[in-house]
């Protein structure tokens, strides 16, 4: 049975990785799908996020990483996946996740959403928490897979340089989908 694990993964955290590793033990094949969401401002482009996930999951032979723009059920149908895998951290996740699961059921009755409860030690962890800490120069090595650590620090270092160059009117610090933060600083 094929399961897809859809999400933003901006960036992948050890919480995501925990769900991925456990999913790989349950299903024949797991496909992590980075969804392109034009309504969300993201730190990393979809291409960067898929690369980060690939680099972090090389030890999982039954895992595939892909990206998609559209509905999760559309992607699942294309790949003949019968399961949408999602993680649950707290009650705060539950309401939205249940709504999405019900909605997806109305769109594709033969596709099931299966939730894995977060591991206790990852229950507080989200991509937003990681970005918040990194923004202020705090340690993130214990929160994200090693290949992601450098990416995040480099990204925020570039943003800091940009802010210092324009102290009066700092530019928007976050990259939009598919665009580097500042092409002229790409080699920094
Ligand atoms: P989305 O924008 O689709 O919520 P995310 O990347 O934030 O994308 O999350 C993808 C999935 O991973 C969601 O089901 C979310 O609940 C789950 N998830 C995120 N962080 C954790 C964690 N620390 N433990 C377990 N599940 C998590």
Catalytic (active site) residue 40: yes
Ligand 1 atom 8: residue of nearest CA: 7
pLDDT in tens, 56-109: 999 999 999 999 999 999 999 999 999 999 999 988 889 999 999 999 999 999
- State which residues form the domain around 42: 2-123
Count of domains observed in the chain:
1
> Where residue 10 falls among pLDDT bands split at 50, 70, 90?
very high
Whether residue 31 lies inside any domain: the answer is yes
Q: Give the pLDDT of residue 169.
A: 52
Whether residue 187 lies inside any domain: the answer is no
> Where residue 168 falls among pLDDT bands split at 50, 70, 90?
low
Whether residue 68 lies inside any domain: the answer is yes
Residue in 8, 42, 45, 127 annotated catalytic? 127
Q: Give the pLDDT of residue 162.
A: 61
In three state form, how does the secondary structure of the chain look?
A: CEEEEEECCCCCCHHHHHHHHHHHHHCCEEEEEEECCCCCCCCCCHHHHHHHHHHHCCCCCCEEEEEECCCHHHHHHHCCCCEEEEEECCHHHHHHHHHHHHHHHHHCCCCEEEEEECCHHHCCCCHHHHHHHHHCCCCCCCCCCHHHHHHHHHHHHHHHHHHHHCCCCCCCCCCCCCCCCCHHHCCC
Catalytic (active site) residue 89: yes
Whether residue 81 lies inside any domain: the answer is yes
CATH number of the domain residue 6 falls in: 3.40.50.620
Ligand 1 atom 15: residue of nearest CA: 87
> What ligand 1 atom has the least distance to the C-alpha of 14?
23
Whether residue 138 lies inside any domain: the answer is no
Model pTM score: 0.85
Whether residue 157 lies inside any domain: the answer is no
> What ligand 1 atom has the least distance to the C-alpha of 122?
23
Whether residue 103 lies inside any domain: the answer is yes
Whether residue 12 lies inside any domain: the answer is yes
Ligand 1 atom 2: residue of nearest CA: 8
Residue in 36, 77, 89, 135 annotated catalytic? 89
């Amino acid at each position: 049975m094929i399961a897809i694990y859809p999400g933003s993964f901006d960036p992948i955290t050890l919480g995501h990785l925990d769900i991925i590793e456990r999913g790989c033990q349950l299903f024949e094949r797991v496909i992590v799908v980075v969804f392109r969401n034009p309504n969300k401002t993201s730190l990393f482009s979809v291409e960067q996020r898929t690369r980060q996930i690939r680099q972090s999951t090389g030890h999982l032979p039954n895992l595939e990483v892909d990206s998609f723009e559209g509905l999760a059920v559309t992607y699942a149908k294309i790949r003949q996946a019968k399961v949408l895998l999602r993680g649950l951290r707290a009650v705060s996740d539950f309401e939205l996740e249940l709504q999405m699961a019900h909605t997806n059921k109305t769109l594709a009755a033969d596709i099931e959403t299966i939730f894995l409860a977060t591991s206790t030690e990852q229950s507080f962890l989200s991509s937003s928490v990681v970005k918040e800490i990194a923004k202020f120069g705090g340690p993130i090595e214990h929160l994200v897979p090693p290949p992601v650590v450098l990416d995040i620090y480099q990204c925020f270092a570039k943003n800091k340089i940009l802010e210092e160059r324009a102290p009066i009117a700092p530019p928007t610090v976050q990259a939009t989908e598919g665009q580097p933060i500042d092409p002229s600083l790409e080699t920094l």
